[in-house]
Homo-oligomer: A and B are copies of this chain.
Amino acid sequence: MTASDLPVFVPEHGVHMSLPFAIYGTIIHSVSVEEVEIIDRGLLVIGLDGKILLFQKGIAREDVISVLSGSGFNPRALLLRVLKRGEFLIPGFIDTHNHAPQWTQRGTGRGRLIMDWLNTVTFPHEARFEDPEYARETYADCVDGFIKQGITTASYYGSLHGEATKILADICLKKGQRAFVGKCNMNINSPDFYKDASAEVSLQVTEDFITHVRKIDPKSTLVTPILTPRFAVACDRDVLSGLGRLAAKNSDLPIQTHFDETEQEMEITKELYPEFANEADLYEHFGLLNERSILAHCIYVNEYEMGRLKDLNCGVAHCPVSNTTGGSFGAAPIREYLRRDIKVGLGTDSGGGFSSSILDAMRQAFIVSKARELATGGADKHLSLNECFYLATLGGARVCGLDQKIGNFAVGKEFDALEITTRKEHPSIITPVEDIDSMEDIFEKFLMSGDDRNIARVYVRGRSIKNQP
């Protein structure tokens, strides 16, 4: 019996496997910030629980069966998928910052200052999610859209509405996307048509939402509620301290907010909360800054705050696409965060970010880091593509506190993966792969010029949730 005797395995959409399955071919993942491992002739076995049972490297094709047998698998009770040249596996993309209700306004109103953009573009859009029917339809399209782009884990801000946000959680679970989902808290400095009725209501809807998610996915296999104060500008002291109490009481819950994003936002924060010298002190005071915090943007973070982020082990969601198209051009100090081993991942910031693709976020992270290198006179060396790929995968997993579970293909982790194709039969605009190309070349072509059409299959916890026709 040889590998070619095994049944060719074409994963069925959305179906849990009835047998463990193995994938053989080129496998690419990050093992550290700098190091991307490109594994030729790799062999992965994924169990029925979606976990990686075996990962072997450099296996000759004729040895696949004996390696499987020798590792205790019955090759006849296992499905094998063999990747061709130009196809390879990478870990799923992790979007650490994403506003689900902004799906239908993505990229509009760019160039405006933050408060103007929120009031004229964003809040009228988000207000529509009061209607559960609208939420159901739009969130289904949104989650489909992100899955199509290879986003296996997303940290979503919902709207302020409890019911719509429950619908978002239900949809992620049903469609099989790993997600943090948060009811957005905002009871001040927002228009009457779109703000929480009171601090009390804001907190009560949040608790009710948490209860709902605990019920539909008790073990957080896929969906986890996340505490989501929009930002201090939109939350009064009662909301912030109430959420801090919830964070203390539920030590498994992640927390997300916007942090040092724009000068305008920082000035208003300072006026509202003059007792705090900076945003780090503010959020820390309310119990919202710890190793579970995902802080979006972190552009204008001062030396003191950087120390707090490091000491408290907070994560940074870097969103270069929105940071460079809003009212200002913001280039976050990512090199400095990496130097200090502060956790960093990428966010599409869909809504403010015009693209729903982490590939675009990677490319823009590369570009923005070059602007930063220029601005710092070379002190902050630009990111390499390998580092950008790390941010999109393992870095994002660290930011979400999920790096023991996902982010690369270490044995024991859950199998969240993308099957990439660069082959000509898939119509995309990727730089054509040629015979002379090394695997490094092919990978680089994908990173720089691939799009969703090159993401042929998407797996979360071993379940196939996108199969390109």
Contact = CB atoms under 8 A, between A and B. Distances in A.
A429 B357 contact: yes
Interface string A432-453: 1010000001001100110110
A145 interface: yes
Interface stretch (A99-107, A185-193, A283-291): A99-107
Contact of A434 (B104, B328, B363, B451): B104
Interface stretch (A8-16, A42-50, A231-239, A364-372): A364-372
Contacts of A103: 431-432
A441 B125 CA distance: 13
Nearest to A371: B329
A108 B371 contact: no
Given A354-B449, A363-B354, A141 B432 contact: yes
A130 to B, nearest CB: 15
Contacts of A107: 431, 444-445, 448-449
A434 B429 CA distance: 27
Interface string A328-340: 1100000000000
B445 A108 contact: yes
Contact of A328 (B105, B374, B429, B441): B374
Q: Which of A364, A370, A444 has the most CB of B within 10 A?
A: A370
A429 B452 contact: yes
A328 B367 CA distance: 10
A222 interface: no
A110 interface: yes
Contacts of A434: 104
A448 B110 contact: yes
A371 B324 contact: yes
Contacts of A445: 106-108
Interface in A382-400: 382, 384-385
A385 B111 CA distance: 9
Contact of A108 (B106, B356, B357, B444): B444
B329 A431 contact: no
A378 to B, nearest CB: 10
A429 B149 contact: yes
A81 interface: no
A324 B370 CA distance: 7
A217 interface: no
Nearest to A137: B432
A325 interface: yes
A328 B106 contact: no
Given A370-B328, A431-B105, A431-B107, A448 B354 contact: yes
A329 B108 contact: no
B148 A108 contact: no
Given A104-B431, A106-B448, A108-B441, 8 more contacts: A107-B448, A111-B370, A111-B384, A141-B432, A329-B367, A329-B370, A329-B373, A354-B448
Interface of A: 103-108, 110-111, 138, 141, 145, 148-149, 324-325, 328-329, 354-357, 363-364, 366-367, 370-371, 373-375, 382, 384-385, 429, 431-432, 434, 441, 444-445, 448-449, 451-452
19 contacts: A104-B432, A107-B431, A107-B444, A107-B449, A108-B441, A108-B448, A110-B366, A138-B432, A324-B370, A329-B370, A329-B373, A329-B374, A354-B363, A354-B431, A354-B448, A355-B449, A357-B429, A367-B367, A375-B375
Closest 9 CB pairs of A and B: A107-B448, A329-B370, A106-B431, A354-B448, A329-B374, A324-B367, A107-B449, A329-B371, A104-B432
